[in-house]
Amino acid sequence: MTSEGVPAALGIVHPDNAGRNWRLGVMGGTFDPIHHGHLVAASEVAARFGLDEVVFVPTGVPWQKAGREVSMPEDRYLMTVIATASNPRFSVSRVDIDRPGDTYTVDTLKDLRRLRGDKLELFFITGADALAKILTWRGAEELFDLAHFIGVSRPGVPLGEEDIKHLPSDKVTLLEVPAMAISSTDCRTRVREDLPIWYLVPDGIVQYIAKRGLYGGGAASGPKQAVDISLSADELGALAAAQNARMNHQSGKPAAPTTTKDNA
């Protein structure tokens, strides 16, 4: 598969990209919790594809996770904001968590195009194993008109060209990212078993999980040996507002109000 030539989409003009479309990576996921594998994959794809921005889009109601309990959307959104705040090319969108009902990729891509304008190229980043099943997704017949799809490798999933030969070759790329060996499932399990998750997720996420009591963890996974980082509602709101303002500044849209819940 090729890593070149992708569809058209997002109307954002910066001094360094005048006259061309904005290249926007879309990292969808439950992010329960977000971890370094997600961040490294997004960074690697951005570098390989020359992306101007990667927007992380936490799912609202993940239809594929119906068999297990999922953390509240606002918790997953705020963890994503915390994890991505230090990278100027990363942003976070609420389009999926604010949309009622199950989350489907076709709706995510349509909403981003509607919100961000027409001069846009969308690159949807997902797991290579999920990509092999893309034709079972809702609105599959529209997906390849909306975005180019990048399947990043996951541990123990030896996918190759044979697995995606039924997909349009000019719309799909496979990319190996070793850091994807980290998984959200393993992180949740370690928290439940009172094992540390330091260095698997950003420090702020370790502390957020401990403060909110997510995943039924005890002391070992919490911030006992770290400098305390306050995670008050006001500070989280400021982080989220900064992310929102950054994305809206790039799109030329007025900033939408950011909602947070009390995290005390």
Q: What percent of the chain has a predicted confidence (pLDDT) above 90?
A: 59
Q: Cα(188)–Cα(202) distance, rounded to whole angstroms? A: 14
Total domains in the fold of the chain: 1
Asked whether the predicted pLDDT for residue 226 surpasses 90, the reply is no
pLDDT of residue 246: 61
Asked whether the predicted pLDDT for residue 148 surpasses 80, the reply is yes
Q: Is 132 inside any structural domain?
A: yes
Tokens of 63: 């239809």
For residue 102, the SS3 value is: strand
Q: Is 112 inside any structural domain?
A: yes
pLDDT of residue 129: 84
Average the pLDDT over 136-159 and give the result: 88
Q: Cα(256)–Cα(175) distance, rounded to whole angstroms? A: 34
Q: Is 187 inside any structural domain?
A: no
Q: CB-based burial of residue 142 (10 Å sphere; 0-12 exposed, 13-18 middle, 19+ buried)?
A: middle
Domain of residue 105: give its range: 22-181+242-251
Tokens of 46: 């951005």
Concatenating the DSSP letter of every residue in 29-75 gives: E--TT--HHHHHHHHHHHHHHT-SEEEEEE-SEEGGGTTS----HHH
Give me the phi and psi of 91, to 5 degrees please. -140, 170
How do residues 2-45 score in pLDDT, each as one tens digit?
333 333 232 333 435 557 899 999 999 999 999 999 999 999 99
pLDDT of residue 231: 52
Asked whether the predicted pLDDT for residue 159 surpasses 70, the reply is no
Asked whether the predicted pLDDT for residue 79 surpasses 80, the reply is yes
H or E element, residue 16: none
The predicted model scores a pTM of 0.79
pLDDT of residue 164: 85
Q: Is 263 inside any structural domain?
A: no
pLDDT of residue 235: 66
Give me the phi and psi of 25, to 5 degrees please. -80, 140
Average the pLDDT over 44-63 and give the result: 94
Q: Cα(249)–Cα(258) distance, rounded to whole angstroms? A: 15
Sequence-distant (≥ 6) Cβ neighbours of residue 38 within 8 angstroms: 27, 29, 31, 56, 83
Q: Is 28 inside any structural domain?
A: yes
- Tokens 């540390």 sit at which residue? 196
Q: Which of 16-20, 23-27, 178-182, 190-194 has the lowest mean pLDDT?
A: 16-20
Residue 132: give its domain's CATH number: 3.40.50.620
Q: Is 102 inside any structural domain?
A: yes
Q: Is 154 inside any structural domain?
A: yes
pLDDT of residue 3: 34
Asked whether the predicted pLDDT for residue 248 surpasses 70, the reply is no
Give me the phi and psi of 260, to 5 degrees please. -135, 160
Asked whether the predicted pLDDT for residue 234 surpasses 50, the reply is yes
